[in-house]
Amino acid sequence: SVNPDLASERRTASFGVEKLTALLDGGAEQTQIRRAVVEAIESDPVFSRENQYFQTQNERYEAAVKKAVHLQKKMHEMEWTENGPEFKYIYRALSGDVAFLLHRVFMRSISVLGSDKQIAKWIPLATQHKLIGSYAQTELGHGTYLQGLETTAVFDTATQEFILNTPKISAMKWWPGDMGRSATHTVVFAQLYVHGKCYGIHPFIVQIRSLQDHSLCPGITAGDIGPKMNFEHVDNGYLLLKNVRIPRENMLSKFCEVRPDGTYVRQGSQKINYFTMTTVRISLISDEVLTPLMKACTIAIRYSVVRRQSKLKAGEQEAKILDYQTQQEKLLPQLAAAYAFHFINNYLQELFNRGYREIQRKNFDMLPELHALSSGFKAVITQHCTQGVEICLRACGGHGYSLLSGLPSLYTKILASCIYEGENTILLLQTARFLIKCFMAVSAGQPVPPSVTYLAAVKHGRCPAKNKLDFLSPDIYTEAYQHVAVRLTGSTAAKLQDLIQSGVKKHDAWSQCTVQLVQAAKAHCHYIAVKNFAETVEKLETKAGIQKIMKHLCDLFALHGIFSNSGAFLHDGYTSAAQMDMVTASYLDLLAVIRKDAVPLVDAFDFTDKSLNSALGSYDGQVYQRLYEWAQRSPTNQMSPAYERYLKPLLHNTLSKL
């Protein structure tokens, strides 16, 4: 039975929930396929996550390995293939709680970086699980800056082998997933040396564990790096190499090869490879970043209509906490952001598909723009969504702090996305470098890629809004965002030039502007996200109330951004104080409007109770029963030796003293 406080929220939905779900999925057929996968996975007890919050790191790892092995069987049984329409839903249905994800990265790196011969040898072995692969790039002392890696691979002409070493403790490989306990092979990135000359970083296939008994190979020291904030199911590992010899054929050699005599040969264009690295940043957004935020919104919003606290009016029943403006202000902007980023993700996916087709035709023109967009949006979306999940957690008060709410694990997991696949600050500076370059080009009348042509549109006008309703016009707010992005890029470019003209060296000038460069990159992405949301809304079908509610969310996303960063909009007077007060008024009005549809808007995400794995967020809203039932099963309610060992003697001691 559904909690009546939750049921009443659903009766008044202003739009068709099933229609919106189909829109999010990209069509009703996709919804059907997704639900079939979810049903198959969730009905299989091996994939259950119901004890997850009670398990130790070792138990989580073992369960993940078990699931990975079982998944092979399941896929065969269900006739799912890696190229089939179901595949993309499997990982999501498992909530990523499965081992051997790096095995896929191992395979991809061989496919992309290996010669045809290497692909022919290794891919079938990997596909058939005759080995378990990993990917060893990051070192204890080296992350983002790849040129700084210290692991060495020295070519020995005599034996036609590479000799691999991690010469210092800071050179130890550190973090690679699946490597701590599972992997038999890994791709090691190392500085290549031939005849004493260093040729930079190259990838090498290295066997680290015996295929017979899983013992470590000679010269290998490897293990697990220990407890982390999340990812307990992954055996992130360390790896020391001491004079480990591998055959010449194990250097992945699509782009570079060492001939038997030690001649180093570079061949082909690596650009497609850079493109692949760039796409990884986009591909993680959906499953690793948007899904957690959508889940957090679902949990926090459902809980906020079930939880009642204090009275808005004397004599009345206690109010649903979602009826408080302050609670709406916490949660509804996160909901709007989830939709905004869903649509920008669609936009980026399409752009990258187009880019891929161009690149296959040897047209690399789009690469700089794609790199700038993927870097900037990876940083902005992971940062925004991480903060959003944290807000959802805090908004649930004490119950949000219980692992049983599901929110802590969503938070601790999404937090990692700000760090992996490029640390966010470094990525934003990549985007900023592109922006500054384009700004200079535009100023010199040169052509620039489509996403930055707006930099030429330096209008020194003022925002034309006359009342608060004007701020519900996408033209008005999109233009305001554009203005801020242009201003921040332009003023930072000017500061850079001033410094250089005053004699500061170029790299020093850059260093002195990084805080402002980061601001400019964020403003650029924020502008594109708002513009894309507005354009998406315009194209939506008007029936079933979908367009109307999406328009409200788009407005909220835009106005919340202005309200929260008002200084950027007020700075040069583009927006006046009176207009900022209109923004605030419209923003607060919107909260009350969207609050009415808040539950249907999270229902449309279509998460099952099992996928939420939350005592607060279930579809039926029976929060208190679930918390109580679940807590009773906690291992902390088993017998503890603490009484016999400590409490009894304590109580007894003092008794005997009297």
> Which residues between 385 and 424 bind a copy of itself (CB under 8 A)?
390, 394, 397-398, 400-404, 408, 412, 415-416, 418-420, 423
Question: What's the min distance (Å) between Cβ of 140 and a copy of itself?
Answer: 5
Task: Please identify which residue in 74, 129, 437, 548 interacts with a copy of itself, judged by CB under 8 A.
Answer: 129
Per DSSP, the residues of 292-330 read: HHHHHHHHHHHHHHH-B-S-SSTTSPPPBGGGSHHHHHH
Instruction: Provide the CA 279 distance to its chain's centre, in angstroms.
Output: 13
Nearer to a copy of itself (CB atom), residue 39 or residue 423: 423
48 binds a copy of itself (CB under 8 A): no
Per the annotation, the verdict on 421 as an active-site residue is: yes
- Contact between 65 and 132 (Cβ < 8 Å): no
CB closer to a copy of itself out of 246 and 407: 407
For residue 269, count other CB atoms closer than 10 A to its CB. 11
Which is closer to a copy of itself, CB of 208 or CB of 251?
208
Q: What are phi and psi of 211, to 5 degrees?
A: -80, -10
Among 34, 49, 103, 142, binds a copy of itself (CB under 8 A): 142
Nearest to 378 by CA among 282, 291, 294: 282
Which segment (22-30, 154-162, 520-528, 568-576) binds a copy of itself by CB under 8 A? Answer: 568-576
* Shortest distance (Å) from residue 205 CB to a copy of itself: 17
Q: Does 625 bind a copy of itself (CB under 8 A)?
A: yes
Residues 223-252 that bind a copy of itself (CB under 8 A): 223-229, 235, 238
**From 5, 584, 610, 620, residue interacting with a copy of itself (rule: CB under 8 A):** 584
Phi and psi at residue 544, in whole multiples of 5°? 60, 15
Instruction: List Cβ neighbours of 603 (8 Å cut-off, separation of 6 or more).
Output: 10, 17, 298, 619
8 Å CB contact between 35 and 618 = no
Structure tokens, 528: 């594109």
Stretch that binds a copy of itself, among 8-16, 277-285, 343-351, 639-647 (CB under 8 A): 639-647
Task: Let me know: does 508 contact 500? Beta carbons within 8 Å.
Answer: no
1 binds a copy of itself (CB under 8 A): no
d(CA 647, CA 6): 44
Write the single-letter amino acid at 369. Answer: E
Q: Shortest gap between Cβ of 198 and a copy of itself (angstroms)?
A: 15
Q: Would you say 24 or 131 has its CB closer to a copy of itself?
A: 131
Beta carbon of residue 176, minimum distance to a copy of itself (angstroms, whole number): 11
Nearer of residues 81 and 325 to a copy of itself, judged by Cβ: 325
Residues near a copy of itself (CB under 8 A), total: 129
Q: Does 162 bind a copy of itself (CB under 8 A)?
A: no
Q: Please, what is the minimum distance in Å from the beta carbon of residue 88 to a copy of itself?
A: 24
Q: Rounded distance, CA 571 to CA 650, Å?
A: 66
Residue in 81, 160, 453, 512 binding a copy of itself, rule: CB under 8 A: 512
- When asked if residue 91 is in the footprint of a copy of itself (CB under 8 A), the reply is no
C-beta separation of 526 from 380 below 8 A? yes
Residue whose CB is less far from a copy of itself, 27 or 397: 397
3-class secondary-structure state, position 139: strand
What whole-number distance in Å separates Cα of residue 19 and Cα of residue 132? 42
Q: At its nearest, how many Å lie between a copy of itself and the CB of residue 648?
A: 7
Which residues 325-344 are close enough to bind a copy of itself by CB under 8 A?
325-327, 329
* Among the listed residues 48, 49, 58, the one whose alpha carbon sits nearest the alpha carbon of residue 181: 58
3-state secondary structure of 371: helix
Tell me which residues in 346-365 interact with a copy of itself (CB under 8 A).
Answer: none
How many other CB atoms sit within 10 Å of the CB of residue 653? 9
Q: Which of 89, 189, 569, 607 binds a copy of itself (CB under 8 A)?
A: 569
Among 76, 197, 214, 271, binds a copy of itself (CB under 8 A): 214
Strands 161-165 and 152-156: antiparallel
Nearest to 181 by CA among 52, 49, 64, 51: 64
Residue 148 touches a copy of itself, criterion: CB under 8 A: yes
Residue 41 sits in the site that holds a copy of itself (CB under 8 A):
no
In a 10 Å sphere around its CB, with 0-12 CB exposed, 13-18 middle and 19+ buried, how is residue 55 labelled?
middle
Contact between 247 and 241 under an 8 Å Cβ cutoff? The reply is no
Residues 482-511 that bind a copy of itself (CB under 8 A): 505, 507-508, 511
The residue from 150, 161, 232, 421 that is catalytic is 421
For residue 299, is it left (φ>0), alpha (ψ between -120 and 50) or beta?
alpha
Binding-site positions for FAD read 138, 177
Q: Which secondary structure element, helix H or strand E, spans residue 201, and what is its range?
A: strand 197-207
Please, is 628 exposed, middle or buried when counting C-beta atoms within 10 Å of its C-beta (0-12, 13-18, 19+)? exposed
Q: What residues from 184 to 213 belong to the interface with a copy of itself (CB under 8 A)? A: 184, 211
Least distance to a copy of itself from the beta carbon of 398, Å?
6
Stretch that binds a copy of itself, among 333-341, 355-363, 442-450, 645-653 (CB under 8 A): 645-653
Pick 54 or 199: Cβ nearer a copy of itself: 54
DSSP string, 615-642: SS--TT--HHHHHHHHHHTSGGGS--TH
CB of 111 to a copy of itself, least distance (A): 19
The answer to whether the beta carbons of residues 389 and 297 sit under 8 Å apart is: no
Contact between 131 and a copy of itself by CB under 8 A: the answer reads yes
Site for a copy of itself in 274-303 (CB under 8 A): none
Q: Is 620 a residue that touches a copy of itself (CB under 8 A)?
A: no
Place of tokens 């130890």: 172
Taking CB under 8 A as the binding criterion, the range among 251-259, 263-271, 470-478, 512-520 that sits at the site for a copy of itself is 512-520
Nearest to 178 by CA among 38, 68, 334, 252: 68
Q: How far apart are CA 476 and CA 461, in angstroms?
A: 12
Instruction: Name the minimum Å distance from CB 429 to a copy of itself.
Output: 8
Q: Which region among 5-13, 274-282, 359-367, 566-574 touches a copy of itself (by CB under 8 A)?
A: 566-574
Interface residue with a copy of itself among 392, 429, 553, 582 (CB under 8 A) is 429
Please, which residue, 253 or 409, has the CB nearer to a copy of itself?
Answer: 409
At 212, the amino acid letter reads Q
CB of 323 to a copy of itself, least distance (A): 8
Name the residues annotated as catalytic: 421
